[in-house]
Amino acid sequence: MTAQQFVSPNEIRARFSHAMSDMYQKEVPLYGDLLELVAETNRQVLREDAALAHQLQITGETERLAMERHGAIRVGTAEELATLRRLFNVMGMSPVGYYDLTVAGVPVHSTAFRAVHEDALQISPFRVFTSLLRLELIESPALRELAQQLLARRRIFTERVLELIVLQEAQGGLDDDQATEFIEQALETFRWHNQATVSAAEYQQLHDQHRLIADVVAFKGPHINHLTPRTLNIDLVQQAMPGRGITPKAVIEGPPPRRRPILLRQTSFKALEEGVAFVEHDGSTQGGHHTARFGEIEQRGVALTPKGRALYDRLLQATNDALQAPPSEKNADRYNQLLAENFQAFPDDYATLREQQLAWFRYFPTECGLAAKDSLDKHSTLEQLIAQEYIRFQPLVYEDFLPVSAAGIFQSNLGDNRHAQYNAASSRSAFEQALGAEVIDELALYGQTQQRSINACAQALGLNAL
Ligand code: OOG
Ligand code: NI
């Protein structure tokens, strides 16, 4: 078979993301309502903010906006995680970044599977935040043993999807029929099963240890626990949610509202209580409830350099230190006020963000730059060309996640304010060993994208290098 007959991984990812969204809308209709609200708000923002509409058009983000979403899953074993890596690879998604959530009282560590090249992201920016349960953090040896047994017994992938992964690896791609079948089969792993694999008493034990442990261990598979569309104005959506019968969490995670958004702001609606059937040891079933699945929205801004990220982390830490308690309904106003005050120290215009090397940008030749191509001084620097308006810059959008925010999203959906304390050392190498690969450094990816855009400017303007 020739490469031409293969469907590109980017297209498989786009189709899979679509199929996943359709499935989740059927499973959780409130997510469908949220999608509508986000689409309406995005249309309104683009109508009212011509400058933003223009910026998103230059960077190509207008086209990806409606299809932009991320999801999250949680798995229990190294084998499950390693197989997911191979499954996502079929769709052109690689593990990017390492997130240790034990520091925030959640017994998992995670990565994000996503496309890495800007051209691939443009076709489908679909990402999946993927967490591995740290079983060693279960205190009771008997319960740990039970969890291990349950996980060892389950099969979260269909036989056919495993065959198709092997086929893709052997032949280097999938043809159209195979890709269609792959999408159908892969989707099965993420489907909700309302029948638990444990008895009501076992569920209760796992749940008492940590609700997340019950969610990972007591079911047949790693059901997708939320999907998240991208909004251009998260404050507007947050305010409008209650009017649509959607209850948002108390505070928006991430930076405060700004003229020029940075990184990522997120909020979610509370997980729904869903009916499940527990399977008793005599084979009978018993009705019960499980709360895990929710909806989330996010607003993405410019990606930060290590220097910018250090400033962000410092200002967020200062806010949390001053609040002296986890943000909640009770202290939400005070939290928002402290956050806004602290972030006064973060420049809020693109020119300063760029000059101070706090954020990443993409560079584009302007029309007058292209028109002046033949008369350009061949030794021009990037800064000179920007000053002459032959090159302009646009913010490079952040494609990743934030550990403190992720912990806040986890916590708000674990239903209580009990913060477990774990003294476990952060264990990136153990995670990578389970994954069977190293995670990619996201900062290197932003640097490469920025550099490619500079190279493309040089080429378009007939210069050797910039
Ligand atoms: C993942 C929570 C993290 C985000 O957007 O930060 C996340 C989970 O609850 O499994 O999705
Ligand atoms: Ni999320």
pLDDT of residue 465: 85
Instruction: State in Å: Cα 71 to ligand 2 middle.
Output: 6
Binned at pLDDT 50, 70 and 90, residue 424 comes out as low
Which candidate, 9, 134, 14, 3, places its Cα nearest to that of 420? 134
Question: Residue 400: inside a domain, yes or no?
Answer: no
Which protein residue's CA is at the shortest distance from atom 1 of ligand 1?
72
Q: How far is the CA of 432 from the centre of ligand 1 (A)?
A: 19
pLDDT at residue 217 above 80?
yes
User: Which band of pLDDT confidence, cut at 50, 70 and 90, is reported for residue 408?
Assistant: confident
Mutate to test the pocket of ligand 1, among 68, 70, 129, 401 (most ligand atoms within 8 A of CB): 129
319 and 179 assigned to the same domain = no
Domain match, 310 and 324 both: yes
pLDDT at 61: 84
**Which residue's CA is the nearest one to ligand 1's atom 7?**
406
Nearest-CA residue for atom 4 of ligand 1: 406
Asked if residue 318 and residue 245 are part of one domain, the reply reads no
Query: What confidence tens digit (pLDDT) does each residue in 249-276 have?
Result: 888 999 999 999 999 999 988 788 899 9
Place of tokens 């967490």: 131
| Residue with CA closest to ligand 1 atom 3 | 406
- Report how far ligand 1's centroid is from the alpha carbon of 351 (Å): 32
pLDDT tens digit sequence for 184-195: 999 999 999 989
CATH classification of the domain holding 277: 3.10.180.80
ipTM, two decimals, is: 0.99
The answer, yes or no, to whether residue 420 has pLDDT greater than 80, is no
Residues 131, 74 contacting (CB under 8 angstroms)? yes
- The residue ranking higher by pLDDT, 416 or 250, is 250
Distance 129 CA to ligand 1 centre (A): 6
Residue 235 domain-assigned (yes or no) = yes
CB 228 within 8 A of CB 298: yes
| Average pLDDT of the residues of the chain | 92
Q: Are residues 428 and 321 in the same domain?
A: no
Q: Does 170 have pLDDT greater than 60?
A: yes
Which amino acid does the sequence have at 394?
A: Q
3 state SS of 300 = strand
Answer yes or no: do 202 and 323 share one domain: no
| Average pLDDT for 413-438 | 79
% of the chain surpassing 70 pLDDT: 97
The verdict on residue 177 lying in a domain is yes
Atom nearest to 253 CA in ligand 1? 6
Q: 99 and 155: one domain?
A: yes
CB-based contacts of 269-275 (< 8 A; 24+ apart in sequence): 269/30, 269/34, 269/241, 269/294, 269/295, 269/296, 270/294, 270/412, 270/413, 271/225, 271/413, 271/415, 272/28, 272/30, 274/192, 274/194, 275/194
- The answer for residues whose C-beta is within 8 angstroms of residue 122's C-beta and 6 or more apart is 60, 63, 64
Pocket of ligand 1 (CB under 6 A): 72, 74, 129, 131, 225, 266, 296, 401, 405-406, 409-410
Residue numbers of the domain that contains 375: 361-395+441-466
Quote the pLDDT of residue 337: 96
What per-residue confidence (pLDDT) applies to 327? 85
Rounded to whole angstroms, how far apart are CA atoms 67 and 61? 10
Ligand nearest to the CA of 129: 1
Q: Is pLDDT at 3 greater than 70 in this prediction?
A: no
- State pLDDT tens for residues 351-372: 999 999 999 999 999 999 999 9
SS3 401: coil
Question: Is the domain of 166 the same as that of 20?
Answer: yes
How confident is the model over 447-458, as pLDDT tens digits?
999 999 999 999
- Cα–Cα distance for residue pair 430/462, rounded to 1 Å: 48
Instruction: Give the position, in ligand 1's atom list, of the atom nearest the Cα of 296.
Output: 5
Q: pTM here?
A: 0.94
For ligand 2, an ion, list residues with CB under 5 A: 72, 228, 296
426 is a domain residue: yes
User: For residue 298, which atom of ligand 1 is closest to its CA?
Assistant: 5
Residue 400 has a CB neighbour count (10 Å cut-off) of 21
Residue 395's φ and ψ, nearest 5 degrees, are: -65, 140
Cα first-last separation, the chain: 41
For the residues 328-339, what does the mean pLDDT come to? 92
Does residue 371 belong to any structural domain of this protein? yes
Nearest to 206 by CA among 130, 107, 281: 107
pLDDT per residue over 226-236, tens digit each?
999 999 999 99
Index of the ligand 1 atom closest to the CA of residue 108? 10
Which has the higher per-residue pLDDT, 412 or 361?
361
| CB neighbour list of residue 159: distance below 8 Å, 6 or more residues apart | none
Distances (CA, A) of 125 to 55, 64, 179, 317, 440: 18, 7, 19, 29, 16
Q: Please state, for a pLDDT cut of 90, what percent of the chain lies above it.
A: 76
Phi and psi for 83 in degrees, rounded to 5? -70, -35
Domains in the chain: how many in total? Answer: 3
Ligand nearest the Cα atom of residue 73: 1
Rounded-to-integer distance, Cα 17 and Cα 22, Å: 9
Q: Is 265 in the same domain as 148?
A: yes
Q: Is residue 119 in a domain? A: yes
Residue among 269, 272, 409, 413 to mutate when testing ligand 1 (max atoms within 8 A of CB): 409
Mean pLDDT for 52-65 is: 87
User: Is there a contact between 115 and 13 (Cβ–Cβ < 8 Å)?
Assistant: yes
Which distant-in-sequence residues (6+ apart) come within 8 Å of 210 by Cβ? Answer: 107, 138, 414, 420
Q: Is residue 431 part of a domain?
A: yes
- Calpha distance 201→206 (Å, rounded): 9
Residue pLDDT, tens place only, 393-406: 999 999 999 988 88
Counting ligands in written order, the one closest to the CA of 271 is 1
Dihedral of the alpha carbons of 367, 368, 369, 372, in degrees to the nearest 10:
130
Q: pLDDT of 310-321, one tens digit each?
A: 999 999 999 999
Is 458 in contact with 451 (CB distance < 8 Å)?
Answer: no
Instruction: Let me know whether 308 and 288 are in one domain.
Output: no
Residue nearest to atom 5 of ligand 1 (CA): 406
**CA–CA separation, 170 and 288 (whole Å):** 44
Asked if residue 2 has pLDDT above 80, the reply is no
Residue 131: Cβ within 10 Å count = 26
Instruction: Tell me: do 294 and 252 sit in the same domain.
Output: yes
Q: Tell me: do 460 and 424 sit in the same domain.
A: no
Q: Does residue 417 register a pLDDT over 60?
A: no
Cα separation, 178 vs 168, whole angstroms: 9
User: Residue 411: which pLDDT band, with cuts at 50, 70 and 90?
Assistant: confident
226 C-alpha to center of ligand 1: Å? 8
Residue 442, both tokens: 């996201």
Closest ligand 1 atom number to CA of residue 405: 6
Q: Which amino acid is at 313?
A: D
